Chains A and B, each alone.
Chain A
Amino acid sequence: MSSNDYLKTMGAPSFDELERAGMLPSLADLAGRGCVCVECVEEIPCNPCETSCPQGALVVGYPITNLPVVDRSKCTLCGLCIAACPGLAITIKSVEAGNAKIRFPWEYLPLPAAGDEVEMVDRLGEAVCAGKILSVNSAAKNNRTAVVTAAFPAAFVQQVASIRRKRHGTV
């Protein structure tokens, strides 16, 4: 197992660490329909991503401390794993005609709404670009984790991890 020095000092994985774990999709992978991005580079006892996937496209196997592996040829991009992952480590990203999209898990109130102008942030929570909310899915099967889709400029597709949280009442 690699030592993940960046993750263990900054709190979020670096591109190198993701790459080493086979978890940084290429721009080709992201083009068109896009792909599921699993950012879970540490061996922890966990596998709800695997059990949530109806296609058998996400595999942890035995022992459950294995890192999850995605078989992109089986993945239908249904997005069920996004809300199932207790680590909130799964997103779906895609790039088409200069626009990128990200489908990500969201557990803060107030929920964003379709049409909202938002700030897209990277893995360290730094603002990278402006974005727009396309949809918010709070289906009951997601068990109180909303799955939000946002659009932003394609140039930032590898950096973007989420949106900035709106604060209750304060700035």
Chain B
Amino acid sequence: MAKAGPAGLCAAIELKKAGAPVILMDENGAPGGQLFKQIHKFFGSREHKAGIRGFDIGKELLAESIALGIDVRLDTEVVGIERGLKLWAVEKKARSYTEEAAAIVLATGATENALSFPGWTLPGVMTAGCAQTLINVHRVLPGKRVLMIGSGNVGVIVSYQLMQAGAEVVAVLEALPRLGGYGVHTAKVRRAGVPLRCSTTILRAEGKESVERAVIARLDERFQPIPGSEETLEVDTICLAVGLTPAIELSCIAGCSQIYVPELGGNMPIHDEFMRSSVDSVYVVGDLAGIEEASTAMEEGRLAGIHAAHAMGYLDEASMSAKAEETRRRLSALRQGAFGQKRFDAKRRILEKKAAV
């Protein structure tokens, strides 16, 4: 059982391929998690479906799970997990039932962080993911002149997509002295003429009924606004791309021990090299187990699926080890380089804590 983002879909596909009966539950009306908002071509290698646009990856995974005959239950929210692996699910906000499982794979993803400043409750202030859903899923442009707060990959990719949708991005602000996102993504936005401003933040949003202006200022080394550096930008939309936090609620209910890893988004359930949490037969994968990328989420999902299939007797030890080894090799290839190393080290801390428990 899983949640139907890329991590959950991959776990379900591995389980079903091994012959295990699988139920996939997702609270949304369409599976695919974050993938369906992502109209850009993905990074990674061919094995990770790089170069393919996010929503096409979602469609592919979905078609595969349907072809395999996986029992996909949409509009189904899992609201509780009892001891003995009993899931409490609510279908279409109308009917509630329980389902007993031999193993549970939790792939609940993440929620976006907010940022509070005077005026942040004005209409027009929204998270970057919200703006991305509006333009790419609902085809509604949230505004004409956008200020993006945060220069990580989410901030720069959503800035690019807002321009593709026809908006102007007035600036991308970054509180840190260096830009966060991949250089190739920042370069795309920069050559479209968007200023990317480091050591700068928003002080307040102003407007009568909705956002009309943003007041921004430069920050000193101690992240304090420099007096006299204030500037006013005429904008009607302010997007917040200030990080994601793992959606750990269900894993807490299930009793999984947590660890605080700021590099990966905050608190998250600990796991071992097969993505097993501290609770027997409960696996945690994807952004829930540390904010990374869709490519790593898919590999973690596969690992959990492979191991759970083995634990339930659908896959012998030798094929499980061979498949897991192959998946782990691809996973570690994704965690190299300066960006990857940080995540690799953080992930190792999670494994060590699990080993110590």
Which residues of A line the B interface, CB within 8 A? 1, 4, 7-13, 39-48, 51-52, 62-65, 84-89, 107-109, 121-126, 143-145, 161-162, 164-165, 167-168, 170
User: In B317-349, which residues have CB < 8 Å from any A CB?
Assistant: 333-340
Please report the number of residue pairs spanning A and B whose Cβ atoms sit closer than 8 angstroms. Answer: 153
Which of B52, B184, B333 makes the CB contact (< 8 A) with A40? B184
- Report B-chain residues with C-beta under 8 Å of the C-beta of A65: 333, 336-337, 339-340
- Report A-chain residues with C-beta under 8 Å of the C-beta of B50: 46-48, 51, 86
- Report A-chain residues with C-beta under 8 Å of the C-beta of B186: 7, 11-12
Q: Are A165 and B192 in contact (CB under 8 A)?
A: yes
Given contacts A11-B187, A46-B50, contact A125 B192 (CB under 8 A): yes
- Report A-chain residues with C-beta under 8 Å of the C-beta of B337: 1, 42-45, 63, 65
Q: Are A43 and B336 in contact (CB under 8 A)?
A: yes
Tell me if B264 is interfacial: C-beta within 8 Å of chain A.
no
Q: Are A64 and B168 in contact (CB under 8 A)?
A: no
Tell me if B19 is interfacial: C-beta within 8 Å of chain A.
no
B297 to chain A, nearest CB (A): 13
Q: Are B191 and A123 in contact (CB under 8 A)?
A: yes
* CB-CB nearest in chain B for A123: B191
- Report B-chain residues with C-beta under 8 Å of the C-beta of A170: 144, 168
- Report A-chain residues with C-beta under 8 Å of the C-beta of B52: 143
A11 to chain B, nearest CB (A): 4
Q: Are A63 and B333 in contact (CB under 8 A)?
A: yes
- Report A-chain residues with C-beta under 8 Å of the C-beta of B198: 9
* A and B contact pairs by CB, cutoff 8 A, 18 listed: A8-B179, A10-B190, A11-B186, A11-B189, A40-B184, A45-B43, A45-B334, A47-B45, A86-B41, A88-B188, A121-B193, A122-B191, A123-B191, A125-B191, A143-B41, A145-B41, A162-B191, A162-B192
A54 to chain B, nearest CB (A): 14
Among B52, B177, B179, which residue has the most Cβ atoms of chain A within 10 A?
B179
User: In B168-203, which residues have CB < 8 Å from any A CB?
Assistant: 168, 177-179, 182-194, 196, 198
Q: How far is the CA of A43 from the CA of B339 in the complex (A)?
A: 8
Which of B40, B144, B177, B196 makes the CB contact (< 8 A) with A10? B196
Given contacts A44-B339, A86-B41, A168-B166, contact A9 B191 (CB under 8 A): no
Q: Is the interface of A mostly helix, strand, loop or mixed?
A: loop
* CB-CB nearest in chain A for B160: A107
- Report A-chain residues with C-beta under 8 Å of the C-beta of B179: 7-9, 11
User: In B210-251, which residues have CB < 8 Å from any A CB?
Assistant: none
Tell me if B44 is interfacial: C-beta within 8 Å of chain A.
yes
* CB-CB nearest in chain A for B181: A11
Among A1, A13, A87, A145, which residue has the most Cβ atoms of chain B within 10 A?
A87
* CB-CB nearest in chain A for B177: A9
Q: Are B163 and A108 in contact (CB under 8 A)?
A: yes
- Report B-chain residues with C-beta under 8 Å of the C-beta of A41: 183
* CB-CB nearest in chain A for B144: A170
Q: How far is the CA of A14 from the CA of B115 in the complex (A)?
A: 33
- Report A-chain residues with C-beta under 8 Å of the C-beta of B43: 44-46, 86-87
Tell me if B53 is interfacial: C-beta within 8 Å of chain A.
yes
Tell me if B42 is interfacial: C-beta within 8 Å of chain A.
yes
Among B42, B190, B339, which residue has the most Cβ atoms of chain A within 10 A?
B190
- Report A-chain residues with C-beta under 8 Å of the C-beta of B177: 9
Q: Are B191 and A64 in contact (CB under 8 A)?
A: no
Q: Mark B50-77, 1 if CB is under 8 A from A, else 0.
A: 1111000000000000000000000000
Q: Are A123 and B163 in contact (CB under 8 A)?
A: no
A101 to chain B, nearest CB (A): 18
* CB-CB nearest in chain B for A5: B178
Which of B42, B46, B178, B184 makes the CB contact (< 8 A) with A51? B46
Which of A10, A87, A143, A167 makes the CB contact (< 8 A) with B53? A143
Known: A7-B179, A45-B295, A168-B166. 7 other contacts (CB 8 A): A4-B183, A9-B179, A12-B186, A42-B339, A43-B338, A65-B337, A122-B191
Q: How far is the CA of A146 from the CA of B40 in the complex (A)?
A: 14
Q: Are A108 and B53 in contact (CB under 8 A)?
A: no
- Report B-chain residues with C-beta under 8 Å of the C-beta of A40: 183-184
